[in-house]
Amino acid sequence: MWVPVAGLPPRLTLSASSGAGRFCIWRSGAARWKDVPARNRRGLADFQPQLLPGQDFRELPSRRSKCGLESKRYLTSPRLAETVVQFLLKEDDPCKLILECNPGPGVLTQALIQGGARVIALESDKTFIPHLESLGKKLDGKLHVVHCDFFKLDPRSFGAVKPTVDSRVLLRDLAIETLPWSKGIPLKVVGVFPAKNEKKMIWKFLHDIYSCTSLYRYGRVELNFFMKETDCQKITAGPQSGSLYQALSVLWQVACEVRLLHREPWSSFDKYTGGGQLEKPECRESLEQQTQQNLCFTQFTPRRNLFTQNLTPVNYDVFFHMLKHCFLKRNAKLIHQLHSLSTVDAVDILKKIKQKRTTKVTDMYPSDFKRLFEAIERSKDYSCKWLYDDFMEDVIV
C-alpha cells in the first residue's frame, strides 16, 4: 500500500507509478501480506499455487525467420546430447518429466527418451513438427509434441508479445500435476536460450519464480539452459567478481541453486532459419560468433527455503527494488544506501545482520542481502518502512 506524500495520489503497486523523481513512502510488506491465507504465511512450506481458468490452447502459426539474429540454434550433436542426458537423468532423481524447448531435429529428444524420460517437446518451427510426431509414434507414447513457442509463454508485458501461450491451459491439457513448494521438482525444462532475447528471458524467469506465476504455479520447476558465457558469469558472480557482481547475481543465487554443468563451443550447435533449413555459412555473422563465446549449460533449481515469513510472492518486488537501488552505487557504503532506501534505523539494522558501518554494497553476499531485507521487514517500530523513487522503476541492471 502506498502512503501519498505532498499531495500525490495513492499508489497500489510499484508498476502503477509514473513519471520521474517522485518520492513515495511504502508501508511494510506485511500490510499486503495480511490477506494471504494463513496456511501460506508460515514460510510458504506448504505453498501450493492455485490454477486459474484460461483460454483454450490453440496451435499457433510460426513466423518465417530471416537469416541472422532471428535464426535458432539447435542441439544436433549426439555426443553433446548424451552429456546433457547424464546431467538431467540421474538414477536417484525421481523427476523424469522433461519439457524440451525447440528440439528441432530431435537429437536430444531421442537421447532423453532412451535414457528413461517422458518428453514434452515444444517446437516453434512447424517444419520440424512432422518429423517429431513421427519420432513420437516410434517411442511408445513417451513423446508429446506441441507446436508453440516456449519463449512466448505467459508474457509479462501483456499485449506486447503476440501470439501468446497460456501455461495454465498448456500444462492442464498435458495433465501436469502441481506440487507444493516444499516437495520435489514437478518437471525439468531444457533448451537453448534465444540469442536475441536472452536477457529479457533471464529477467522474466526471475519474476516468474519470485511471484510463483507461469510454470511456477506448478512448483519448483528446474531450468536447464545453454546460455551465453557472459550472462552465466554475471549470474554466478560473487563479491570478489568485480563488476560482474550485480543485482542479477543476487536475485538468482537467492532464488536458486545455480550450477554451471558444462561449457560447449558455439560450433557444436547448428543454426536453422525459420523454414527448418540449415543456415549457410556466409549467413552466420551474428555477434555471438564474432566473439567466439562458449555456451554454458546452466542448471537453476529453486530453493525450498526461498520464501519466508518476510520474503513472499506478495512483497518480492520490494526486494527487487532494494537490490537495484543498492547496486546503483556499487562502491558506496551500505549504510548510506539504506538511509535513502528505508525509514528504519540503518545502524540498528546493520547490527541485526552483523554488518559494520564500513561495509560496502559489494562486500555483501546474496544471503546477506536476503537477511537485510527480512530484517527491515521485521521492524515493528515503523509503519512505513520503504522509500521509493519512481526513477528506479525503469532502471535495468
Q: How many Cα atoms are found within 13 Å in the side-chain-facing hemisphere of 129?
A: 17
> What is the distance of C-alpha 287 from the center of its chain?
24
Helix (H, G, I), strand (E, B) or coil at 226: strand
Annotated binding residue at 257? Answer: no
Single out the residue of 204, 107, 112 nearest to residue 155, CA to CA: 204
Beta carbons of 181 and 215 less than 8 angstroms apart:
no
Please tell me the distance from the alpha carbon of residue 344 to that of residue 340, in angstroms, as a whole number.
10
DSSP assignment string, 149-201:
-GGGBS-SSTTTSSS-B-HHHHHHHTTPPP--TTS--S-EEEEE--TTTHHHH
CA distances from 311 to 40, 229, 269 (A): 12, 30, 40
Annotated binding residue at 363? Answer: no
Annotated binding residue at 149? Answer: yes
Beta carbons of 190 and 224 less than 8 angstroms apart:
yes
Beta carbons of 69 and 158 less than 8 angstroms apart:
no
| Per-residue H/E/C for 81-112 | HHHHHHHHCCCCCCCCEEEEECCCCCHHHHHH
Backbone angles phi, psi at 105, to 5 degrees: -65, -15
Beta-bridged to residue 100, according to DSSP, are 121, 190
Tell me what percent of the chain is helix, strand and coil, each rounded to the nearest 5: 40, 20, 45
> What is the distance of C-alpha 366 from the center of its chain?
16
- Binding-site residues for S-adenosyl-L-methionine sit at 75, 123, 149
Which residues are annotated binding-site positions?
Answer: 75, 123, 149
